[in-house]
Amino acid sequence: MRFAKLLAQFGLIAAMAAALTACAGLSQPQKTATQTANQASGAKSPAASTAANTSGAASGASGGESATNGGAPATAGPDLAPAVNPEVVRVFDASVRALQQGHAAEAERGFLSLTKTNPELGGPHANLGIIYRRADKIAQAVSELEFAVRDSPLQPVYWNQLGIAYRQQGQFTKARQAYERAIALDPTYASANLNLGILFDLYLWDSNRALELYDRYLVLSGGDDKVSKWVTDLKNRNREHTAVARKEQE
């Protein structure tokens, strides 16, 4: 029942695009100012939204894998290298706007053109991954997001999004590794902590680890009523299992 509710509440939430990383050798991961307020996820539980910015890295929110509460688009500080051609910025910005307005085909054309003219940029690949995931083209989504983290390995948002795609593909070990990479790059990334908690809760069946991650997410996010209820439910289930185990041992 709880699994079904999570799917219904969060599985289809997806609002914004990941932002452009104009420098493959970026030394510091970017985080959005509203990351902890709007989380991003992608598991069929806490959804799959991502926070966008036309020139910075995005976080994601509504459920690490997506958004738990929706909200306005998150924005990040500029991440563009001075040498980037202004035309690249223009095409990227136009593609992000198209995606935010629901014009996926137009956005896809724009991002695809950038992957051809500027293959070293991670952002266009990341956004294509989001577009393909929304269209249930999971294999293509994984491929594009793998390009994104290869081109921009220091962007925790891209690793989080890749974790979501892996989870949807049923590759739970890879999803775990991707989420853990995102957290290693940015321990304060609330969405990645939430998504990893969901993975342990619903797919890897490790309730203790899930509780640790949910608690960390609640601290980082400043609180979330839905996730607090999950924590209570999970603790109750743990107590019930413990009681049953003790009874069977008597």
CA dihedral over 160, 164, 165, 167, signed as positive or negative: positive
Q: Which residue has the higher pLDDT, 231 or 250?
A: 231
**Token pair for 41:** 């996820």
Average pLDDT on 63-78 reads 32
Residue 35 has pLDDT above 80, yes or no: no
* SS3 assignment for 195-214: HHHHHHHHHCCCHHHHHHHH
Q: How many domains is the chain built from? A: 1
Of residues 20, 81, 84, 78, the one with CA closest to residue 52? 20
Instruction: Considering only CA atoms, give the Rg of the chain.
Output: 18
**167-185 confidence digits (pLDDT tens):** 999 999 999 999 999 999 9
**Res 239: pLDDT:** 82
Task: CATH number of the domain at 72, please.
Answer: 1.25.40.10
**Res 53: pLDDT:** 28
Rounded CA gap, 241 and 177, in Å?
Answer: 28
Task: Compute the C-alpha angle 117/119/121, nearest 5°.
Answer: 110
Residue with tokens 């891209």: 158
Average pLDDT on 189-197 reads 96
Expressed as residue numbers, the domain containing 7 is: 2-249
Residue 131 has pLDDT above 70, yes or no: yes
Mean pLDDT, the chain, whole residue set: 72
